[in-house]
Amino acid sequence: MSDFDYSSIGKTSAYIKAETAKQSANTQNSLNQEDFLKLLTTQLTNQDPTSPVDNNQMVTTMSQLSIVDNLNSINSGMENVVSAISSSSALSASSLVGRSVLVDSNTAFYDGQTPVTAKINAGDGMSDINIRVYSPDGTLAGAYQANAGDGQMDFAWDGLDADGEPLNAGMYTIRATGVAKDGSTQSLAVSTYATVGSVTLGSTPSETSLNLISYGDVALSDVQEIAL
């Protein structure tokens, strides 16, 4: 079985080609130890017999060559470490495909079968909590009420209207309000769950983004929670 390059996951062929060309250009514009030794040999061959290279200068030059070689080895080792981390990140990110993630949006996709799930933030305590679900055309699809709650409250909508009839698939919006301790009515923050369709790796792990089904791209760093 041939080895698979996990570092290429989520990267387009054009991106990989550009990176390869960049690495090739960097190699062509740099001098390795063999190049330095050739230059030194040429210098010794063509030196002025009446003014030969000083021994101390020779030792200094050789020391510099050794330092450069060690630095190249360290650089090569670091590149291997970065590559390993990138591959590990690719594996971790690819495992999110098909998973459900919580994002900061009150709009969620209903596929016509699977209930829409969300979290409603009631802060340090709210009473008379009202939750409204609106269909893609803005009409009221469902209304629900809770006497009181605090912190993150789980909410699920089964996709049925007030008469118990199933509604069509589409993007539905959830809005919630509650009465605070001072008696004022306030809007509550709503976060919804979405399914990961694919993962796109950036040039660094922090630039990795998730493509959520019927939602769009969202940065991995913006995901609040990962569920089954």
- DSSP symbol at 133: E
Residue 51 vs residues 26, 54, 62, 106: alpha-carbon distances, Å: 37, 9, 20, 81
Q: Which CATH architecture has domain 100-227?
A: Sandwich (2.60)
0.85 exceeded by pTM:
no
Q: What whole-number distance in Å separates Cα of residue 209 and Cα of residue 44? A: 56
**Crossing angle between the packed helical segments 33-45 and 55-94, to the nearest 10 degrees:** 160
Q: 221: which 2 tokens?
A: 């760093």
| Greatest Cα pair distance in the chain | 106
Domain ranges of the chain: 7-94, 100-227
Please measure the distance between the N-terminal and C-terminal CA atoms of the chain and give it in whole angstroms: 31
Per-position pLDDT tens, the chain of length 228: 445 454 555 555 665 666 666 665 555 555 566 766 676 677 667 766 666 666 666 667 666 666 766 676 676 666 655 555 555 555 566 788 888 999 999 999 999 999 999 999 999 999 999 999 999 999 999 999 988 899 999 999 999 988 889 999 999 999 999 999 999 999 999 999 999 998 887 766 667 888 998 888 988 888 888 887
Helix (H), strand (E) at residue 104: none
